[in-house]
Chain A
Amino acid sequence: MYDLIVVGGGPAGLAAALSAYENGCEKILIVERDLELGGILNQCIHNGFGLHYFKEELTGPEYAERFIDQLKNTSIEVMLDTIVLEITEDKQVHTMSKENGYQLLQSKAIVLAMGCRERTRGAIQMPGSRPAGILTAGAAQRYVNIEGYMVGKKVVILGSGDIGLIMARRMVLEGAEVLACIELMPYSGGLTRNIVQCLDDFNIPLYLSHTITDVTGKDRLESITMAKVDDKRKPIPGTEQVIDCDTLLLSVGLIPENELSRNVGIQMDQQTRGAMVYENMETSISGIFACGNVLHVHDLVDYVSAESSLAGKAAAEYVQQQNNIAEKDFLTINNGQGISYILPQKIRKENVDKKVDLYYRVNQVYDTCIVSIQHQGEELAKFKRKNLAPGEMETIPLRKKLLDKVDIKELDIVVREA
Protein backbone atom coordinates (compact mmCIF):
# COMPACT_ATOMS: atom_id res chain seq x y z
CA MET A 1 0.00 0.00 0.00
CA TYR A 2 1.36 3.40 -1.02
CA ASP A 3 0.38 6.76 0.46
CA LEU A 4 0.79 8.41 -2.92
CA ILE A 5 1.36 7.24 -6.47
CA VAL A 6 2.48 9.88 -8.96
CA VAL A 7 1.81 9.06 -12.62
CA GLY A 8 4.59 10.56 -14.76
CA GLY A 9 8.15 11.54 -13.81
CA GLY A 10 8.49 14.85 -15.63
CA PRO A 11 8.97 18.15 -13.80
CA ALA A 12 5.35 18.04 -12.59
CA GLY A 13 5.58 14.54 -11.15
CA LEU A 14 8.97 15.24 -9.57
CA ALA A 15 7.85 18.46 -7.86
CA ALA A 16 4.61 16.88 -6.65
CA ALA A 17 6.40 13.85 -5.17
CA LEU A 18 9.05 15.99 -3.45
CA SER A 19 6.48 18.36 -2.01
CA ALA A 20 4.31 15.48 -0.72
CA TYR A 21 7.42 14.03 0.91
CA GLU A 22 8.33 17.35 2.55
CA ASN A 23 4.79 17.56 3.85
CA GLY A 24 4.97 14.27 5.68
CA CYS A 25 3.90 11.71 3.10
CA GLU A 26 6.03 8.60 3.55
CA LYS A 27 5.37 5.87 1.02
CA ILE A 28 5.55 7.61 -2.34
CA LEU A 29 6.00 6.01 -5.76
CA ILE A 30 6.66 7.70 -9.11
CA VAL A 31 5.70 5.61 -12.14
CA GLU A 32 7.37 6.70 -15.41
CA ARG A 33 7.02 4.99 -18.77
CA ASP A 34 10.33 6.30 -20.14
CA LEU A 35 13.76 4.88 -19.25
CA GLU A 36 14.67 7.98 -17.26
CA LEU A 37 13.06 10.74 -15.22
CA GLY A 38 12.77 14.33 -16.43
CA GLY A 39 10.01 14.10 -19.02
CA ILE A 40 10.09 16.47 -21.94
CA LEU A 41 12.89 18.51 -20.33
CA ASN A 42 15.47 15.92 -21.42
CA GLN A 43 15.08 16.97 -25.03
CA CYS A 44 14.72 20.71 -24.32
CA ILE A 45 18.46 21.39 -24.35
CA HIS A 46 17.99 25.15 -24.84
CA ASN A 47 18.15 27.55 -21.92
CA GLY A 48 15.36 29.59 -20.42
CA PHE A 49 14.22 27.34 -17.61
CA GLY A 50 14.21 28.18 -13.93
CA LEU A 51 14.36 31.98 -14.01
CA HIS A 52 11.51 32.20 -11.50
CA TYR A 53 12.11 29.04 -9.53
CA PHE A 54 15.91 28.94 -9.19
CA LYS A 55 16.53 32.60 -10.11
CA GLU A 56 19.02 31.55 -12.76
CA GLU A 57 18.77 30.52 -16.35
CA LEU A 58 19.10 26.77 -16.84
CA THR A 59 18.69 24.37 -19.73
CA GLY A 60 15.94 21.74 -19.60
CA PRO A 61 18.22 18.84 -18.60
CA GLU A 62 19.88 20.94 -15.87
CA TYR A 63 16.50 21.90 -14.46
CA ALA A 64 15.39 18.27 -14.41
CA GLU A 65 18.61 17.07 -12.83
CA ARG A 66 18.22 19.47 -9.89
CA PHE A 67 14.91 17.85 -9.05
CA ILE A 68 16.10 14.30 -9.72
CA ASP A 69 19.06 14.88 -7.38
CA GLN A 70 16.72 15.90 -4.59
CA LEU A 71 15.04 12.47 -4.76
CA LYS A 72 18.26 10.82 -3.61
CA ASN A 73 17.89 11.94 -0.01
CA THR A 74 14.31 10.76 0.26
CA SER A 75 12.44 7.46 0.52
CA ILE A 76 10.56 8.19 -2.71
CA GLU A 77 10.51 5.10 -4.94
CA VAL A 78 10.74 5.25 -8.72
CA MET A 79 9.53 2.68 -11.26
CA LEU A 80 10.96 3.36 -14.71
CA ASP A 81 10.01 1.80 -18.05
CA THR A 82 6.56 1.22 -16.57
CA ILE A 83 3.31 2.53 -18.01
CA VAL A 84 0.15 3.21 -16.06
CA LEU A 85 -2.74 1.64 -17.97
CA GLU A 86 -5.61 2.55 -15.73
CA ILE A 87 -6.48 4.15 -12.42
CA THR A 88 -9.67 3.66 -10.42
CA GLU A 89 -11.77 5.83 -8.16
CA ASP A 90 -10.62 3.87 -5.11
CA LYS A 91 -6.99 4.67 -6.03
CA GLN A 92 -5.90 1.44 -7.62
CA VAL A 93 -3.17 1.83 -10.22
CA HIS A 94 -2.77 -0.76 -12.99
CA THR A 95 0.74 -0.82 -14.43
CA MET A 96 2.66 -2.74 -17.07
CA SER A 97 6.40 -3.14 -17.57
CA LYS A 98 8.85 -5.47 -19.30
CA GLU A 99 10.49 -6.34 -16.03
CA ASN A 100 7.46 -6.92 -13.80
CA GLY A 101 4.68 -7.49 -16.31
CA TYR A 102 1.21 -6.47 -15.17
CA GLN A 103 0.87 -5.15 -11.62
CA LEU A 104 -1.98 -3.81 -9.53
CA LEU A 105 -0.87 -1.25 -6.95
CA GLN A 106 -3.00 0.29 -4.21
CA SER A 107 -2.55 3.87 -3.04
CA LYS A 108 -4.33 6.33 -0.78
CA ALA A 109 -3.92 9.27 -3.17
CA ILE A 110 -2.89 9.78 -6.79
CA VAL A 111 -1.25 12.70 -8.58
CA LEU A 112 -1.72 12.77 -12.35
CA ALA A 113 1.32 14.29 -14.10
CA MET A 114 1.31 12.69 -17.56
CA GLY A 115 2.19 15.85 -19.49
CA CYS A 116 0.90 16.38 -23.00
CA ARG A 117 1.49 15.25 -26.54
CA GLU A 118 1.77 17.14 -29.78
CA ARG A 119 -1.03 17.65 -32.20
CA THR A 120 -0.18 15.87 -35.40
CA ARG A 121 -0.98 16.40 -39.03
CA GLY A 122 -4.19 14.39 -38.68
CA ALA A 123 -5.39 16.64 -35.89
CA ILE A 124 -5.22 19.71 -38.14
CA GLN A 125 -6.42 18.03 -41.34
CA MET A 126 -3.67 19.16 -43.66
CA PRO A 127 -4.27 18.60 -47.38
CA GLY A 128 -1.86 17.09 -49.92
CA SER A 129 0.14 13.89 -50.30
CA ARG A 130 1.76 11.85 -47.56
CA PRO A 131 5.52 11.79 -48.19
CA ALA A 132 8.27 11.27 -45.59
CA GLY A 133 9.78 14.37 -44.06
CA ILE A 134 6.71 15.65 -42.25
CA LEU A 135 6.99 15.33 -38.51
CA THR A 136 6.11 17.15 -35.33
CA ALA A 137 8.64 19.65 -34.00
CA GLY A 138 8.89 17.75 -30.74
CA ALA A 139 9.66 14.47 -32.52
CA ALA A 140 12.36 16.28 -34.51
CA GLN A 141 13.68 17.73 -31.26
CA ARG A 142 14.04 14.26 -29.83
CA TYR A 143 15.80 12.92 -32.95
CA VAL A 144 18.27 15.80 -33.11
CA ASN A 145 18.96 16.40 -29.42
CA ILE A 146 18.86 12.93 -27.94
CA GLU A 147 19.37 10.43 -30.74
CA GLY A 148 21.71 12.61 -32.78
CA TYR A 149 19.97 12.29 -36.17
CA MET A 150 19.55 15.29 -38.43
CA VAL A 151 16.02 15.33 -39.83
CA GLY A 152 16.45 17.45 -42.98
CA LYS A 153 18.26 20.18 -44.91
CA LYS A 154 15.61 22.56 -46.21
CA VAL A 155 13.02 23.09 -43.54
CA VAL A 156 9.65 24.80 -43.27
CA ILE A 157 7.88 25.15 -39.94
CA LEU A 158 4.11 25.22 -39.64
CA GLY A 159 2.91 26.94 -36.50
CA SER A 160 4.76 29.43 -34.34
CA GLY A 161 4.47 27.65 -31.00
CA ASP A 162 7.57 27.64 -28.83
CA ILE A 163 8.71 24.18 -29.84
CA GLY A 164 8.63 25.18 -33.52
CA LEU A 165 10.58 28.38 -32.83
CA ILE A 166 13.17 26.60 -30.72
CA MET A 167 13.57 23.95 -33.43
CA ALA A 168 13.95 26.59 -36.15
CA ARG A 169 17.09 27.87 -34.41
CA ARG A 170 18.29 24.38 -33.61
CA MET A 171 18.06 23.28 -37.25
CA VAL A 172 19.98 26.36 -38.43
CA LEU A 173 22.72 25.77 -35.86
CA GLU A 174 23.03 22.19 -37.11
CA GLY A 175 23.51 23.39 -40.68
CA ALA A 176 20.01 23.26 -42.16
CA GLU A 177 18.28 26.08 -43.95
CA VAL A 178 14.99 27.20 -42.42
CA LEU A 179 12.95 28.87 -45.14
CA ALA A 180 9.81 29.96 -43.36
CA CYS A 181 7.76 29.78 -40.22
CA ILE A 182 4.08 29.85 -41.15
CA GLU A 183 1.38 30.85 -38.67
CA LEU A 184 -2.37 30.75 -39.28
CA MET A 185 -3.24 33.35 -36.68
CA PRO A 186 -2.39 37.07 -36.95
CA TYR A 187 -0.11 36.68 -33.90
CA SER A 188 2.55 34.22 -32.86
CA GLY A 189 1.71 31.29 -30.62
CA GLY A 190 5.08 31.38 -28.87
CA LEU A 191 6.90 33.61 -26.43
CA THR A 192 8.11 36.92 -27.87
CA ARG A 193 11.65 36.23 -26.68
CA ASN A 194 11.66 33.10 -28.82
CA ILE A 195 10.59 35.04 -31.92
CA VAL A 196 13.54 37.37 -31.33
CA GLN A 197 16.25 34.88 -30.47
CA CYS A 198 15.15 31.99 -32.70
CA LEU A 199 13.75 33.64 -35.84
CA ASP A 200 14.98 37.25 -35.99
CA ASP A 201 18.54 36.33 -34.97
CA PHE A 202 18.78 34.01 -37.97
CA ASN A 203 16.69 36.05 -40.43
CA ILE A 204 13.99 33.40 -40.66
CA PRO A 205 10.80 34.96 -42.04
CA LEU A 206 7.63 34.61 -39.98
CA TYR A 207 4.46 34.61 -42.09
CA LEU A 208 1.49 35.51 -39.90
CA SER A 209 -2.06 34.86 -41.23
CA HIS A 210 -0.73 32.21 -43.63
CA THR A 211 -1.31 28.51 -44.00
CA ILE A 212 -0.22 25.53 -46.07
CA THR A 213 -2.65 24.61 -48.83
CA ASP A 214 -0.75 21.79 -50.50
CA VAL A 215 2.09 19.37 -49.96
CA THR A 216 3.90 17.53 -52.77
CA GLY A 217 6.48 14.75 -52.95
CA LYS A 218 6.36 11.05 -53.71
CA ASP A 219 8.66 9.37 -51.23
CA ARG A 220 10.21 12.43 -49.66
CA LEU A 221 8.64 15.86 -49.26
CA GLU A 222 9.50 18.11 -52.25
CA SER A 223 7.55 21.31 -51.74
CA ILE A 224 4.74 22.98 -49.88
CA THR A 225 2.33 25.66 -51.06
CA MET A 226 1.72 28.55 -48.73
CA ALA A 227 -1.19 30.99 -48.97
CA LYS A 228 -2.42 34.02 -47.09
CA VAL A 229 -5.66 33.62 -45.14
CA ASP A 230 -8.52 36.07 -44.63
CA ASP A 231 -9.97 37.01 -41.27
CA LYS A 232 -12.06 33.85 -41.28
CA ARG A 233 -8.80 31.88 -41.69
CA LYS A 234 -9.73 30.78 -45.22
CA PRO A 235 -6.93 30.75 -47.85
CA ILE A 236 -7.13 33.71 -50.25
CA PRO A 237 -6.95 32.50 -53.91
CA GLY A 238 -4.09 34.04 -55.87
CA THR A 239 -1.78 34.41 -52.86
CA GLU A 240 -0.23 30.95 -53.22
CA GLN A 241 3.53 30.63 -53.12
CA VAL A 242 5.47 27.37 -53.59
CA ILE A 243 8.44 26.68 -51.29
CA ASP A 244 10.84 23.83 -52.15
CA CYS A 245 11.75 21.92 -49.00
CA ASP A 246 12.51 18.40 -47.79
CA THR A 247 11.21 18.74 -44.25
CA LEU A 248 8.09 20.17 -42.67
CA LEU A 249 7.97 20.49 -38.90
CA LEU A 250 4.56 20.84 -37.29
CA SER A 251 4.29 23.00 -34.21
CA VAL A 252 0.54 23.24 -34.05
CA GLY A 253 -0.19 22.83 -30.40
CA LEU A 254 -0.14 20.42 -27.53
CA ILE A 255 -2.94 18.31 -26.13
CA PRO A 256 -2.96 17.22 -22.48
CA GLU A 257 -2.67 13.44 -22.30
CA ASN A 258 -5.84 12.67 -20.37
CA GLU A 259 -6.99 9.16 -21.29
CA LEU A 260 -6.45 7.97 -17.72
CA SER A 261 -8.34 10.93 -16.27
CA ARG A 262 -11.29 10.54 -18.63
CA ASN A 263 -11.57 6.80 -18.14
CA VAL A 264 -11.84 7.09 -14.39
CA GLY A 265 -14.59 9.69 -14.83
CA ILE A 266 -12.82 12.86 -13.74
CA GLN A 267 -14.75 15.99 -14.74
CA MET A 268 -12.95 17.76 -17.58
CA ASP A 269 -12.74 21.39 -18.71
CA GLN A 270 -13.48 21.89 -22.43
CA GLN A 271 -11.17 24.89 -22.64
CA THR A 272 -8.04 23.59 -20.96
CA ARG A 273 -8.65 20.00 -22.13
CA GLY A 274 -7.49 19.02 -18.68
CA ALA A 275 -9.28 18.20 -15.45
CA MET A 276 -11.46 20.71 -13.67
CA VAL A 277 -9.62 21.40 -10.40
CA TYR A 278 -10.15 23.00 -7.03
CA GLU A 279 -7.78 25.51 -5.40
CA ASN A 280 -5.40 22.73 -4.33
CA MET A 281 -5.30 20.95 -7.72
CA GLU A 282 -7.71 18.27 -6.55
CA THR A 283 -9.92 16.92 -9.30
CA SER A 284 -13.62 16.11 -9.08
CA ILE A 285 -12.62 12.75 -7.55
CA SER A 286 -11.31 13.47 -4.06
CA GLY A 287 -7.80 12.19 -3.46
CA ILE A 288 -6.88 12.41 -7.15
CA PHE A 289 -4.89 15.51 -8.07
CA ALA A 290 -3.59 16.82 -11.40
CA CYS A 291 -0.74 19.19 -12.25
CA GLY A 292 1.61 20.28 -15.01
CA ASN A 293 0.92 19.95 -18.70
CA VAL A 294 -1.72 17.28 -18.19
CA LEU A 295 -3.81 19.90 -16.42
CA HIS A 296 -3.23 22.75 -18.88
CA VAL A 297 -0.45 23.48 -21.34
CA HIS A 298 2.29 25.58 -19.72
CA ASP A 299 4.91 27.66 -21.51
CA LEU A 300 7.10 27.88 -18.42
CA VAL A 301 8.32 24.96 -16.41
CA ASP A 302 8.65 27.23 -13.37
CA TYR A 303 4.88 27.48 -13.16
CA VAL A 304 4.66 23.72 -13.59
CA SER A 305 6.88 23.23 -10.55
CA ALA A 306 4.96 25.74 -8.43
CA GLU A 307 1.58 24.26 -9.33
CA SER A 308 2.82 20.72 -8.78
CA SER A 309 4.26 21.53 -5.34
CA LEU A 310 0.78 22.68 -4.42
CA ALA A 311 -0.72 19.42 -5.68
CA GLY A 312 1.87 17.36 -3.79
CA LYS A 313 1.25 19.22 -0.55
CA ALA A 314 -2.50 18.81 -0.94
CA ALA A 315 -2.08 15.09 -1.61
CA ALA A 316 -0.04 14.76 1.61
CA GLU A 317 -2.76 16.57 3.56
CA TYR A 318 -5.39 14.34 2.02
CA VAL A 319 -3.49 11.22 3.03
CA GLN A 320 -3.04 12.46 6.59
CA GLN A 321 -6.64 13.49 7.15
CA GLN A 322 -8.51 11.36 4.69
CA ASN A 323 -11.41 13.80 5.01
CA ASN A 324 -13.52 14.42 2.01
CA ILE A 325 -13.08 18.15 1.57
CA ALA A 326 -14.63 17.98 -1.89
CA GLU A 327 -18.10 18.20 -0.41
CA LYS A 328 -17.65 21.57 1.26
CA ASP A 329 -19.10 24.70 -0.33
CA PHE A 330 -17.22 26.06 -3.26
CA LEU A 331 -17.34 29.04 -5.53
CA THR A 332 -16.93 28.85 -9.28
CA ILE A 333 -14.50 30.97 -11.29
CA ASN A 334 -15.76 31.72 -14.80
CA ASN A 335 -13.78 32.86 -17.81
CA GLY A 336 -15.52 35.99 -19.02
CA GLN A 337 -14.91 38.41 -21.88
CA GLY A 338 -11.39 38.17 -23.32
CA ILE A 339 -10.31 35.15 -21.27
CA SER A 340 -9.98 31.78 -22.99
CA TYR A 341 -9.49 29.79 -19.81
CA ILE A 342 -9.00 30.23 -16.12
CA LEU A 343 -7.78 27.80 -13.50
CA PRO A 344 -8.48 26.62 -10.81
CA GLN A 345 -12.12 26.56 -11.79
CA LYS A 346 -13.51 25.99 -8.29
CA ILE A 347 -12.41 27.34 -4.93
CA ARG A 348 -13.24 26.11 -1.45
CA LYS A 349 -12.72 29.12 0.78
CA GLU A 350 -11.82 27.07 3.88
CA ASN A 351 -8.77 25.77 2.06
CA VAL A 352 -7.39 29.15 1.09
CA ASP A 353 -4.54 30.40 3.22
CA LYS A 354 -3.70 33.92 1.99
CA LYS A 355 -4.44 33.80 -1.71
CA VAL A 356 -5.00 31.57 -4.71
CA ASP A 357 -3.00 32.21 -7.87
CA LEU A 358 -5.35 32.17 -10.84
CA TYR A 359 -3.76 31.09 -14.12
CA TYR A 360 -5.33 32.32 -17.33
CA ARG A 361 -4.84 32.92 -21.02
CA VAL A 362 -6.38 35.74 -23.04
CA ASN A 363 -8.06 34.98 -26.38
CA GLN A 364 -6.55 37.86 -28.35
CA VAL A 365 -3.62 40.27 -28.20
CA TYR A 366 -3.97 43.21 -25.74
CA ASP A 367 -1.52 46.13 -25.47
CA THR A 368 -2.60 47.66 -22.20
CA CYS A 369 -5.65 46.43 -20.38
CA ILE A 370 -7.26 45.69 -17.05
CA VAL A 371 -7.84 42.15 -15.89
CA SER A 372 -10.75 42.37 -13.53
CA ILE A 373 -12.35 40.10 -10.95
CA GLN A 374 -16.10 40.69 -11.02
CA HIS A 375 -19.23 39.49 -9.38
CA GLN A 376 -22.41 40.08 -11.38
CA GLY A 377 -20.82 43.00 -13.17
CA GLU A 378 -19.38 44.62 -10.04
CA GLU A 379 -15.60 44.95 -10.02
CA LEU A 380 -14.04 43.54 -6.84
CA ALA A 381 -10.37 43.73 -7.84
CA LYS A 382 -8.42 44.84 -10.89
CA PHE A 383 -4.93 44.34 -12.26
CA LYS A 384 -3.27 46.46 -14.91
CA ARG A 385 -1.54 44.33 -17.52
CA LYS A 386 0.54 45.09 -20.62
CA ASN A 387 1.23 43.10 -23.78
CA LEU A 388 -1.00 40.11 -23.14
CA ALA A 389 -1.06 37.43 -25.82
CA PRO A 390 -2.75 34.03 -26.12
CA GLY A 391 0.69 32.41 -26.34
CA GLU A 392 1.62 33.44 -22.83
CA MET A 393 0.02 32.15 -19.66
CA GLU A 394 -0.52 34.85 -17.05
CA THR A 395 -1.48 34.92 -13.40
CA ILE A 396 -3.40 37.14 -10.99
CA PRO A 397 -3.80 36.64 -7.25
CA LEU A 398 -7.24 36.09 -5.74
CA ARG A 399 -6.88 37.21 -2.15
CA LYS A 400 -8.44 35.55 0.86
CA LYS A 401 -9.55 39.00 2.04
CA LEU A 402 -11.70 39.33 -1.03
CA LEU A 403 -13.13 35.86 -0.60
CA ASP A 404 -14.02 36.59 3.02
CA LYS A 405 -15.60 39.94 2.28
CA VAL A 406 -18.40 38.70 0.13
CA ASP A 407 -20.65 35.70 0.27
CA ILE A 408 -20.69 34.69 -3.33
CA LYS A 409 -20.98 31.55 -5.35
CA GLU A 410 -19.45 32.81 -8.57
CA LEU A 411 -16.75 35.15 -9.85
CA ASP A 412 -16.05 36.24 -13.41
CA ILE A 413 -12.61 37.10 -14.68
CA VAL A 414 -12.76 39.52 -17.61
CA VAL A 415 -10.41 41.69 -19.62
CA ARG A 416 -11.44 45.28 -20.27
CA GLU A 417 -9.93 48.41 -21.78
CA ALA A 418 -7.69 50.38 -19.48
Chain B
Amino acid sequence: MAEIICIVCPVGCHLTVDEENDYKVTGNQCNKGAIYGKQELQNPVRTVTSTIKIKAGSHPRLPVKTSDTIPKGKITDIMTLINQTEVTAPVSVGDVIIPNILDTGVDIVATRSMS
Protein backbone atom coordinates (compact mmCIF):
# COMPACT_ATOMS: atom_id res chain seq x y z
CA MET B 1 0.00 0.00 0.00
CA ALA B 2 1.33 3.41 -0.90
CA GLU B 3 -0.13 6.71 0.23
CA ILE B 4 0.24 9.57 -2.24
CA ILE B 5 -1.45 12.86 -2.96
CA CYS B 6 -3.19 13.32 -6.29
CA ILE B 7 -1.74 16.34 -8.10
CA VAL B 8 -4.06 16.27 -11.08
CA CYS B 9 -6.25 19.03 -9.73
CA PRO B 10 -6.15 21.43 -6.77
CA VAL B 11 -8.51 19.28 -4.67
CA GLY B 12 -5.44 17.19 -3.79
CA CYS B 13 -7.12 13.91 -2.78
CA HIS B 14 -5.17 11.63 -0.48
CA LEU B 15 -4.89 8.39 -2.43
CA THR B 16 -4.06 4.90 -1.25
CA VAL B 17 -2.67 2.66 -3.97
CA ASP B 18 -2.56 -1.10 -3.53
CA GLU B 19 0.41 -2.41 -5.54
CA GLU B 20 -0.57 -6.01 -4.82
CA ASN B 21 -4.07 -5.60 -6.17
CA ASP B 22 -3.44 -4.23 -9.70
CA TYR B 23 -2.68 -0.78 -8.31
CA LYS B 24 -6.24 -0.29 -7.10
CA VAL B 25 -6.73 3.30 -5.98
CA THR B 26 -8.95 4.44 -3.12
CA GLY B 27 -9.53 7.92 -1.70
CA ASN B 28 -9.93 9.52 -5.14
CA GLN B 29 -12.88 11.81 -5.77
CA CYS B 30 -12.82 11.22 -9.51
CA ASN B 31 -11.51 8.79 -12.08
CA LYS B 32 -8.51 10.95 -12.97
CA GLY B 33 -7.17 10.18 -9.52
CA ALA B 34 -7.38 6.43 -10.18
CA ILE B 35 -5.39 6.81 -13.38
CA TYR B 36 -2.87 9.12 -11.71
CA GLY B 37 -2.33 6.83 -8.71
CA LYS B 38 -1.56 3.83 -10.89
CA GLN B 39 0.68 5.82 -13.22
CA GLU B 40 2.57 7.55 -10.41
CA LEU B 41 3.71 4.24 -8.95
CA GLN B 42 4.46 2.54 -12.27
CA ASN B 43 5.92 5.38 -14.33
CA PRO B 44 5.58 8.88 -12.92
CA VAL B 45 5.07 11.63 -15.48
CA ARG B 46 5.00 15.43 -15.35
CA THR B 47 4.30 18.42 -17.58
CA VAL B 48 7.34 20.69 -17.89
CA THR B 49 6.91 24.44 -18.26
CA SER B 50 9.78 26.83 -18.88
CA THR B 51 10.87 29.70 -21.12
CA ILE B 52 13.10 29.98 -24.16
CA LYS B 53 15.01 32.90 -25.65
CA ILE B 54 13.12 34.90 -28.23
CA LYS B 55 14.52 37.52 -30.59
CA ALA B 56 12.53 40.59 -31.67
CA GLY B 57 9.70 39.85 -29.24
CA SER B 58 7.99 42.20 -26.79
CA HIS B 59 9.88 40.36 -24.02
CA PRO B 60 13.25 38.51 -24.09
CA ARG B 61 11.61 35.21 -23.02
CA LEU B 62 8.82 33.13 -24.49
CA PRO B 63 6.95 30.75 -22.15
CA VAL B 64 6.68 27.14 -23.36
CA LYS B 65 5.43 23.75 -22.14
CA THR B 66 5.49 20.11 -23.08
CA SER B 67 2.35 19.38 -25.14
CA ASP B 68 1.73 16.30 -22.98
CA THR B 69 3.27 14.73 -19.91
CA ILE B 70 6.78 13.25 -20.12
CA PRO B 71 8.52 10.68 -17.88
CA LYS B 72 9.75 12.38 -14.70
CA GLY B 73 13.30 11.09 -15.27
CA LYS B 74 13.61 13.07 -18.51
CA ILE B 75 12.99 16.51 -17.00
CA THR B 76 16.68 17.48 -16.73
CA ASP B 77 17.54 16.46 -20.29
CA ILE B 78 14.52 18.28 -21.63
CA MET B 79 15.51 21.43 -19.75
CA THR B 80 18.99 21.29 -21.32
CA LEU B 81 17.46 21.21 -24.80
CA ILE B 82 15.01 23.98 -23.98
CA ASN B 83 17.86 26.18 -22.78
CA GLN B 84 19.78 25.66 -26.04
CA THR B 85 16.89 26.81 -28.19
CA GLU B 86 16.16 30.29 -29.52
CA VAL B 87 13.30 31.52 -31.71
CA THR B 88 12.37 34.74 -33.45
CA ALA B 89 9.07 36.59 -33.04
CA PRO B 90 6.28 36.53 -34.09
CA VAL B 91 5.08 33.34 -32.45
CA SER B 92 1.48 32.21 -31.86
CA VAL B 93 0.22 30.32 -28.86
CA GLY B 94 0.38 26.57 -29.59
CA ASP B 95 3.19 26.86 -32.18
CA VAL B 96 5.53 23.86 -32.04
CA ILE B 97 8.97 25.08 -30.96
CA ILE B 98 10.78 21.71 -30.62
CA PRO B 99 8.99 18.73 -32.22
CA ASN B 100 9.12 15.27 -30.65
CA ILE B 101 11.60 16.19 -27.91
CA LEU B 102 13.96 13.31 -26.98
CA ASP B 103 11.77 10.95 -29.03
CA THR B 104 9.03 11.13 -26.43
CA GLY B 105 6.39 11.89 -29.05
CA VAL B 106 5.75 15.11 -27.13
CA ASP B 107 6.39 18.61 -28.55
CA ILE B 108 7.57 21.77 -26.85
CA VAL B 109 4.92 24.39 -27.68
CA ALA B 110 4.57 28.13 -27.11
CA THR B 111 2.14 29.10 -24.34
CA ARG B 112 1.58 32.64 -25.52
CA SER B 113 1.58 34.68 -28.67
CA MET B 114 4.35 37.24 -28.98
CA SER B 115 5.21 39.75 -31.63
With A48-B10, A61-B112, A65-B113 as known contacts, state yes or no: A193 contacts B50, CB within 8 Å. no
Q: How far is the CA of A299 from the CA of B8 in the complex (A)?
A: 16
Residues of B near A45 (CB, < 8 A) are 49-51, 63, 65, 111
Q: B1-19: contact bitstring with A at CB < 8 Å (1 yes, 0 no)?
A: 0001111111010100000
Q: B67-88: contact bitstring with A at CB < 8 Å (1 yes, 0 no)?
A: 0000010010001000000000
Which listed residue (A42, A51, A147, A387) contacts B9, Cβ 8 A? A51
Asked whether, in the complex, the Cβ of A193 is within 8 Å of the Cβ of B12, the reply is: yes
With A45-B51, A46-B49, A47-B47 as known contacts, state yes or no: A61 contacts B111, CB within 8 Å. yes
Residues of B near A57 (CB, < 8 A) are 47
Q: Compute the total of residue contacts between A and B using a CB distance below 8 Å.
A: 78
For residue B53, CB closer than 8 A to chain A, the reply is yes
Residues of B near A145 (CB, < 8 A) are 51, 61, 63
For residue A197, CB closer than 8 A to chain B, the reply is yes
Residues of B near A191 (CB, < 8 A) are 10, 12
Residues of B near A48 (CB, < 8 A) are 10
How far is the CB of B21 from the nearest CB of chain A, in Å? 23
Q: A30-43: contact bitstring with B at CB < 8 Å (1 yes, 0 no)?
A: 00000110000010
Q: How far is the CA of A1 from the CA of B32 in the complex (A)?
A: 50
For residue B58, CB closer than 8 A to chain A, the reply is yes
Q: How far is the CA of A48 from the CA of B48 in the complex (A)?
A: 12
List chain B positions with a Cβ less than 8 A from chain A: 4-10, 12, 14, 46-51, 53, 58-61, 63, 65, 72, 75, 79, 93, 111-113
List chain A positions with a Cβ less than 8 A from chain B: 35-36, 42, 45-48, 51, 57-59, 61-62, 64-65, 144-148, 173-174, 191-193, 195-197, 201, 299-300, 387, 392
